[in-house]
Structure 1
């Protein structure tokens, strides 16, 4: 998504402190919520059974990614103009930690003008440190990243971020082939929200989904509450993927 030079460019281009209040959104349009999600009694479910696939078959933890449009992908990249991008990929490397949450990385990559670009978005496996009057001390950083039941099927949603924005990984369908030819795979989508340009820096003590106001607030009620697979709150749909190995992506 961004090269080192591009990162320096966006810092130099920052011209004002833009605050984003609780419950508000940035300049992106707000998407409407749809559907409902319920967490089964007794806690959070784990990834659905994949028939024992080791991820070494047909599917891997990398899959082709299809952007919604060239314009939308350009808005996501933001810091440099695109020519004729191709070879879009999403790579998911998540590990189940305590409380059946998933920590790790989601990478979005593409090729343009002979150069390869890759952005790595992460959610850590640790807990929020206690620091002055910051909220959510001791809460898992990956607290909102888990499988749950919606519409009678297992789905997943979770937050990840890099230095310049956040994404939400959505899995809306998990398929168990049960044929020994690569096992289960998942389909889904990615939504994004770039941070507003600002002279202020993000707190090193909290990921953006634990920030309650200002330019680094990336919370989406539908994701935090598991009420919808459409995030809203300023997030825009970046694209979709299919054929991502369930066991290789969610370990």
Structure 2
């Protein structure tokens, strides 16, 4: 007679949920190389106009200070969820866009662009940067000693002064677009800019981004966030896979672009 022995087994399953704001998501999958590819340097074309005035005086002759933070309106909740990637939003409100940039030479602007909102009592902020320095110089790499903010500048399109520029966080790249510069008149304190924010999530990958280049200087692989129209200043709207996240208004040019 055979006896069967049954041993009980206990399995403990733990799930960790990550919540945050920014481009991309935290699901990882094997992807292509992240190498910075040697390619021809394209610093962009087009006229670089004088940056629009952002200061003004009121009727008393004193300078009026405006904010570098304005109202942000997402295209849709669906698009917002696609941008966040890690979790669905519940009841988002109080959207803001903050622009903190400075001229690092020849009309190129470096700094931080931040989009924030409140959801279920918690404030989430995605901050995207372009550094003030230059690319490190290494044999075999392109764009050596090029300003990290090389493509972030005002230019003329359709007879209007506009701005496009790249910024990134760990999840992906964004393009800040200023497509309208509104003079408030001296009595109202200067110039207000309005525009849009576009995003491009990084592809899922176990590999890490090259420490030597921001995503707009990476020509191939999951960390490539380049856009020909932004680089060449051939159009105001970014191409090459960028999606419109929303629009902003009410930002002082003087406070945002210093």
Query: TM (normalized to structure 1)?
Result: 0.84
The answer on whether the counterparts of 1:168 and 1:190 sit within 8 Å (CA) in structure 2 is yes
- Distance in 2 between the 1:234 and 1:59 partners? 34
Cα shift at 1:111: 0.5
Cα shift at 1:210: 0.2
Cα shift at 1:69: 0.4
* Equivalent residues in 2 for 1:35-54, closer than 5 Å: 39-40=46-47, 44-52=48-56
- Distance in 2 between the 1:70 and 1:57 partners? 36
The answer on whether the counterparts of 2:83 and 2:199 sit within 8 Å (CA) in structure 1 is yes
Per-residue CA deviation, residues 129-186 of structure 1 (Å, 9 max, x unaligned), is: 0123111001000000000111111100000000001100000011111132232101
Cα shift at 1:86: 0.6
Change over 3 Å in CA distance of 1:202–1:228 after alignment to 2 = same
The aligned residue for residue 227 of structure 1 is 234
Cα shift at 1:78: 0.6
- Distance in 1 between the 2:80 and 2:179 partners? 21
- Pick the structure with greater CA Rg: 2
Query: TM (normalized to structure 2)?
Result: 0.82
The aligned residue for residue 14 of structure 1 is 28
* Alignment partner of 1:76 is 2:83: yes
Change over 3 Å in CA distance of 1:69–1:140 after alignment to 2 = same
- Distance in 2 between the 1:236 and 1:21 partners? 24
- Distance in 2 between the 1:121 and 1:213 partners? 21
* Equivalent residues in 2 for 1:131-170, closer than 5 Å: 131-170=138-177
Change over 3 Å in CA distance of 1:132–1:76 after alignment to 2 = same
- Distance in 2 between the 1:57 and 1:72 partners? 36
Give unpaired runs (5+ residues) of structure 2. Answer: 1-16, 37-43
- Alignment equivalent of 1:193, drawn from 200, 207, 219: 200
* Partner SS for 2:223: coil
* Worse overlay, 221-230 or 131-140: 131-140
The aligned residue for residue 216 of structure 1 is 223
Give unpaired runs (5+ residues) of structure 1. Answer: 23-36
- Distance in 1 between the 2:57 and 2:94 partners? 26
Cα shift at 1:242: 1.0
- Distance in 1 between the 2:55 and 2:91 partners? 40
Cα shift at 1:248: 0.2
The aligned residue for residue 89 of structure 1 is 96
RMSD of equivalent CA atoms? 2.5
The answer on whether the counterparts of 1:58 and 1:181 sit within 8 Å (CA) in structure 2 is no
* Worse overlay, 115-124 or 128-137: 128-137
Per-residue CA deviation, residues 94-144 of structure 1 (Å, 9 max, x unaligned), is: 001112100000001010011000011000110000123111001000000
- Distance in 1 between the 2:158 and 2:35 partners? 32
